[in-house]
Structure 1
Amino acid sequence: MAERNADQQHEDQLRGGADSAGIGRYLMHRAKPHLPPWLGVAGTGLAGALGHLRWADSSGAGVGLTLASVALTGATWWAGRGTSAQRRLHSAITVAAGSAWLTGACLAGPTAGPLDDLYLMAGPGLALSWNVRMILRRNPDAAGESAGADKGLLEKVGLAKASIGRTEVGPNRVTAQLGLEAGEQTNDDVTKTLPRIASALDLPPTAVRYMPDPESARRGELVIVPRDMLADTVRWEENGPSLAGGSITEPLTIGVYDDGSPLQLWLPGDKEAGRNATHLLIAGMTGSGKGDGALNLMTEILSRTDVLFWLSDPKGFQDFRPLLPAIDWAVEGGADTEVMVETVKAVIPARTAWLGEHSYRQWEAAAAQRQTDPKHSCRKDGTACGCPGLPFHIVWFEEAGVSLGLLGDDAFNSIANLARSAGMALVVSLQRPSHDQISTTTRDALGARLCFGVPNATAAGFMLPDSVVDAGAAPERWSNRRPGYCYLVTPGVAEERYSSPGRTRWFTDTAVSLMETVAQWAARNGAQVDPVTEKAAASVAGTAYTQRQTNETDENAHLPADEDEDEMTGPLLDPEDEGIDPEQELPDSEPGDDAPLFGQETGRKPSPEEARRLFGDALAEFEDEGRMVVGPKDFTDWCDRNNLSRSWVSLRLKEAALDGRLEPTNQTGRWRIVPALAAA
């Protein structure tokens, strides 16, 4: 519309004002853009005449004017380095000629010798050269050739009726506005042609992306990255953590995008930035670089000063062992992870209650500090409460497919849906987040995705939204041939970035020493567990949490025992036989002590009082070992030692639950031991 209005105005100017006044206005209007060079020539002549009146026959002025002429010409050449070579040379010649004539005119006079002739001939010549350059600046033929080239490309890929609008060219990124034929083409048509566009431009398929306009079905941005800047691997130890000593609210930098910009994500929310808190799902096939990606993120997290970190790793901390001193609680898989999940369930409401009492609608950096602001006081009188802060809390489940196989598909559902409101984030890492590995409910609750190479498009669909795949994201094209290549979908990152590939940094053997340094620094300077989280965790995990040893290791814990020494120093009497008087008569037989009849269950039947004592001892034994989630199968060895049956144990479990010593879990037949002090 604006273009038609301009053409109409131009046509009106050509047709209107046929009298002499109208013709004069039209000529002046057309001449105005070409006047600056002529004004420059006139100004130079006037300056020469005035300069001669002041500096005639002055040797000092001659030196000064000569130096000024040389300096001005050099400055013009330097300033034109960002323009074309022709424009730079043209500008330098014009300034050099004008300043040389001005110097001669000021010293000898504008009419001395050939100066007046040079002025009359060279001045108009230079002005006209700039007029010609201005006229040729608009080249409809060249524009037509460019448009024809674009049309040729679009025609080749089946988008002949599409038009290319405004185009932005960056250092390694070309973004073009694309408009499709109304009623005949949609954004889906562009998505289908992306591989053909990459073929026409001789680029990798992942170098061409399309971001549809959410408010239009036929408009969007075509993004082309000519050069893959991810080909050169970057070692993590070259730079280390991006912001050691900073806050977890600052971006976590884990690599770079293919155009060289940083690959970043956030876990806490930010109401001012309009960013929601999120959990993170990490997935990728074996050899895709998922382990190095996890180390990038973990070292970023542990280098911040207001975050608490828990880790579950069924692989025995194979990749993360150098970082253990910085981790508040680290457990291996199986029953220990089961205890951690139950603990997180109890920690969530405790932390949520604290945030509510201190007037935080969501966790923010101020919540991690001592509460000296009356606006965040839990006191009813409105004065500052001075309560200890509540650090952000991250719970990381490595190789979660193994844990979910033991705990069940719904193990993470409740904590995934509620943890964000408690200032907590879950990081779940596994190879393939298919429905047989993780429930759809849990997967949907993990809002952010870090997807490394996968074996096929089906696996990519489990990780990436359909809109991102349609825009050109295809991690299956890398598989495990390009370790570290990934896609990041997360709040806080522009949606057009979702389909841009990135690459995480590479951890080598030489990175171990720096990782250990980061861990030791974090152990001294990082956040300590807050009273609210510690109390809630101890109420569920008991000694499994209160006696955790993640910040120090026992050097002799894994050394084999000296068998000869045990034989020489160990007691000669079985501990179970201590206190038995060898002269005392043997006790009478009890029911079940003899061989069972057909259909009768093995094992004796203790009295109710003895049953409560025996079972209480068993629960205390499990609690001392840190095994806080139990079921009938966990009592197998204990039943053998005490000559009791598993069916007897099942009855005792139900009785203990009624007494408050056990709490049911989400899994059928599994019970959580309530620590003895908490039960009392």
Structure 2
Amino acid sequence: MGEHDPEQQHEEHLKGGSSPSGLGAYILHRAKPHLPPWICVGGLGVAGGGANLMWSGSAGAAVGLTLASVALTGATWWAGKTTSQQRRLHSAITVAAGSAWLTGAALAGPLAGVLPDAFAMGGPVLALSWNIRMLMRRNPDATGQSADKGLLEKVGLAKAKIGRTEVEANRVTAALTLPAGEATNDDIARTLPRIASALDLPTTAVRYLPDPDSARRGDLVIVPRDMLADTVRWEENGPSHPGGSITDPLVIGVYDDGSPLLLWLPGDKNEGRNATHVLIAGMTGSGKGDGALNLMTEILSRTDAVMWLSDPKGFQDFRPLLPAIDWAVEGGPDTEVMVEAVKAVIPARTAWLGAHSYRQWEAAAAQKQTDPKHSCRKDGTACGCDGLPFHVAWFEEAGVSLGLLGDDAFNSIANLARSAGMALVVSLQRPSHDQISTTTRDALGARLCFGVPNATAAGFMLPDSVVDAGAAPERWSNRRPGYCYLITPGVPEERYSSPGRTRWFTDSALSLMETVAHWFARNGASVGHVTEKAAATVAGTAYTNRRSTAPADTDPDPESDGDDDEMTGTLIDPEDADIDPDRDLPESAPGDDTPMFGNPGGRKPSPEEARELFARALDEFEDAGQMVVGPKDFMDWCDRNSLSRPWVSARLKDAAMEGRLEPTSKTGRWRIVPALANA
């Protein structure tokens, strides 16, 4: 006969016939495991009667039986040292009671004195106690706890206690309590690699989440199967919520237990969630570019958000999405202008939100203002003003831009933009202090950290508490593209140390990306007159002509002969090789107003001529869309106009006093105030 499931057999017995033979067989089958203690009791009674026939009244037998009883009880206690304390004590008591009764029955007779009563009452009690123990032995929780205790003993935590245990589809969470005064949560963090080794799992599959209210309590989290190993293509699902609001969660991937990787940019007072900026970092080959595309396509599939983008790489990854981006620049002076425009836009947006009684941006702010509660009119009636969409300022490869602007260029933006319904996204490979200021980095509340080369680089992105809980992006390096950690408001802190993976963009995703971009161009939000006016006041034609000067979607002229690529040597005169182009030009010196040899036009102009020529130069720069200038930008202009150059720095300061220029965050760089705004 084949083997059957005991539970199935039990069910069959219950549902089967109730004939006497069948019922008796079932009772006998169920009673078999519990018969040994009763058989032992019966055998003890028979042995007592037989021993009495042999040793009744024998003094030598009395001594021998007594010594044998003591020896047997001691042997039982010694043999039970490898078992639990309860089993050891229970066994010793049973052997001592049985051997004592046998000794008395052998010497005085099994029916003498209290011996029959002791046998009739004590025997069933001992047998039933073992039956009860057998029933309690099948507790699955106790079995699991015993196994867990064995695991903790292996890693040096034998005294730790395991409390409630939650078992999910691919996640086990066990409450852990350490012995008071002997261990702390920091000790658990150091044992995580050994626990992973004992379970034969990757180190990142074991995390510890300390209780913030206790130094010796926390949750041990184990994810037995890595669900990130299978790469998910973005085009298989596309944007998570096309046509939705930016207040809905942005889904950029999955966690290792299969749950979605979520990110929010605006705040929500009802949820107690603050608005946030985002810092994206990871080494070359870690999947940072695909992670950025996941976030960008989510943003551009919502109807109440607009985006500005700076990308010194020439939109290598983002070109299919350009039709959906309100303003896109390639870096350099254009990025300087965008930074200054963002600074100007912040107070304009904040003023609009305050006038319409919004303490922070919310979805209703992007719609036409028909609610009297959000009216800018003093009489309290609905004002009907156009809405203010959420605004994302994205700086890709920000390390390049910060090298031009200075590492504190984003400080004021990062500190003020959240209150204006704006989010700053900064993406770079290594957010170290020599790349980005600590003030800016601390203000970027959300961190999307991909693989990094070492633990030092991980420390720039992840809080110490997350690293202590088991997060280690340096273990992936760039060997697992897309693997990441996400720290962001709205996500429980216990999730911070859980690895996730963003979706993969392939060549087949291009058509869907273009579809998203063109859909947004038709259905997405417009930037709004408040933001547009403030940006134009600062950026002038660089912003108002952004559509006509937008980067082309086509490749460079294929008929180009490439002569420029074949040029060799330097374009700098040897006598100018040591000049720092960012440094202010020297003050005027005697002889500057004398004609240059062979060039009578090279003279110091009169004050009236200087102002006219300099104003003409600023107009030329403004017409060309270059709204941030410095002394180096006037070198070619001075040579072209046969003018000496030492007076440029003085003219820059004069123009600033007249309101035509404004200083930027970088010393020696000036922002041109558009002529219309100045008027």
Bin for the TM-score computed over the shorter chain: 0.7 to 0.9
Partner of 1:595: 597
Which of 459, 474, 494 is matched with 1:476 structurally? 474
Matched-pair contact (CA < 8 Å) for 1:324–1:551:
no
Matched-pair contact (CA < 8 Å) for 2:281–2:427:
yes
With the length of structure 2 as denominator, give the TM-score of the two structures.
0.77
Partner of 1:185: 183
- Residue by residue over 1:268-294, the C-alpha shift from the partner in whole angstroms, topping out at 9 and shown as x without a partner, is 000000000000000000000000000
Partner of 1:290: 288
Matched-pair contact (CA < 8 Å) for 1:230–1:258:
yes
Counterparts of 1:403 and 1:658, CA distance in 2: 28
Matched-pair contact (CA < 8 Å) for 2:319–2:553:
no
Partner of 2:671: 672
Counterparts of 1:194 and 1:154, CA distance in 2: 11
Partner of 1:216: 214
Partner of 1:407: 405
- Residue by residue over 1:329-369, the C-alpha shift from the partner in whole angstroms, topping out at 9 and shown as x without a partner, is 00011111000000000000000000000000000000000
Partner of 1:271: 269
When residues 488 and 555 of structure 1 are mapped into structure 2, their CA distance, relative to the original with a 3 A threshold, is: closer
When residues 134 and 544 of structure 1 are mapped into structure 2, their CA distance, relative to the original with a 3 A threshold, is: farther
Counterparts of 2:559 and 2:678, CA distance in 1: 37
Matched-pair contact (CA < 8 Å) for 2:328–2:550:
no
- Residue by residue over 1:208-264, the C-alpha shift from the partner in whole angstroms, topping out at 9 and shown as x without a partner, is 000000000000000000011100000000000000000000110011000000011
Counterparts of 1:116 and 1:232, CA distance in 2: 58
Query: Quick check: 1:632 aligned with 2:631?
Result: yes
Which of 75, 87, 91 is matched with 2:7 structurally? 87
Partner of 1:254: 252
Matched-pair contact (CA < 8 Å) for 2:604–2:644:
no
Matching of residues 70-85 of structure 1 within 5 Å? none
When residues 144 and 530 of structure 1 are mapped into structure 2, their CA distance, relative to the original with a 3 A threshold, is: closer
Counterparts of 2:349 and 2:180, CA distance in 1: 54
Which of 412, 415, 418 is matched with 2:416 structurally? 418
Counterparts of 1:186 and 1:558, CA distance in 2: 62
When residues 371 and 280 of structure 1 are mapped into structure 2, their CA distance, relative to the original with a 3 A threshold, is: same
When residues 636 and 215 of structure 1 are mapped into structure 2, their CA distance, relative to the original with a 3 A threshold, is: same
Partner of 1:31: none
- Which AA in structure 1 matches 2:7? R
How far the C-alpha of 1:647 sits from its partner, in A, is: 1.8
Matched-pair contact (CA < 8 Å) for 2:13–2:26:
no
Counterparts of 2:319 and 2:548, CA distance in 1: 10
- Which AA in structure 1 matches 2:637? W
Secondary structure at the aligned position of 2:646 is classed as: helix
Counterparts of 1:263 and 1:532, CA distance in 2: 34
Partner of 1:351: 349
Counterparts of 2:321 and 2:474, CA distance in 1: 31
Matched-pair contact (CA < 8 Å) for 1:592–1:602:
no
When residues 290 and 596 of structure 1 are mapped into structure 2, their CA distance, relative to the original with a 3 A threshold, is: same
Query: Quick check: 1:617 aligned with 2:616?
Result: yes
Secondary structure at the aligned position of 1:647 is classed as: coil
When residues 270 and 94 of structure 1 are mapped into structure 2, their CA distance, relative to the original with a 3 A threshold, is: farther
When residues 511 and 562 of structure 1 are mapped into structure 2, their CA distance, relative to the original with a 3 A threshold, is: closer
How far the C-alpha of 1:607 sits from its partner, in A, is: 2.2
- Which AA in structure 1 matches 2:667? T
- Which AA in structure 1 matches 2:651? R
Matched-pair contact (CA < 8 Å) for 1:327–1:551:
no
Partner of 1:331: 329
Partner of 1:657: 656
Identity across matched positions, percent: 77
When residues 484 and 611 of structure 1 are mapped into structure 2, their CA distance, relative to the original with a 3 A threshold, is: same
- Which AA in structure 1 matches 2:629? V
Counterparts of 2:230 and 2:552, CA distance in 1: 41
How far the C-alpha of 1:142 sits from its partner, in A, is: 6.1
When residues 549 and 176 of structure 1 are mapped into structure 2, their CA distance, relative to the original with a 3 A threshold, is: same
With the length of structure 1 as denominator, give the TM-score of the two structures.
0.77
Counterparts of 1:592 and 1:647, CA distance in 2: 13
How far the C-alpha of 1:412 sits from its partner, in A, is: 0.4
- Residue by residue over 1:20-51, the C-alpha shift from the partner in whole angstroms, topping out at 9 and shown as x without a partner, is xxxxxxxxxxxxxxxxxxxxxxxxxxxxxxxx
Counterparts of 1:431 and 1:555, CA distance in 2: 26
Counterparts of 1:412 and 1:545, CA distance in 2: 20
How far the C-alpha of 1:138 sits from its partner, in A, is: 3.8
Unmatched 5+ stretches in structure 1? 1-83, 102-114, 564-589
Secondary structure at the aligned position of 1:303 is classed as: coil
Secondary structure at the aligned position of 1:363 is classed as: coil
Partner of 1:505: 503
Unmatched 5+ stretches in structure 2? 36-130, 562-591
Count of aligned residue pairs for this structure pair: 551
How far the C-alpha of 1:124 sits from its partner, in A, is: 8.3
- Which AA in structure 1 matches 2:302? R
Which of 144, 155, 158 is matched with 1:157 structurally? 155
Partner of 2:95: none
Counterparts of 1:205 and 1:372, CA distance in 2: 55
Partner of 2:313: 315
Matched-pair contact (CA < 8 Å) for 2:306–2:326:
yes
Query: Quick check: 1:233 aligned with 2:231?
Result: yes
Matched-pair contact (CA < 8 Å) for 1:314–1:333:
yes
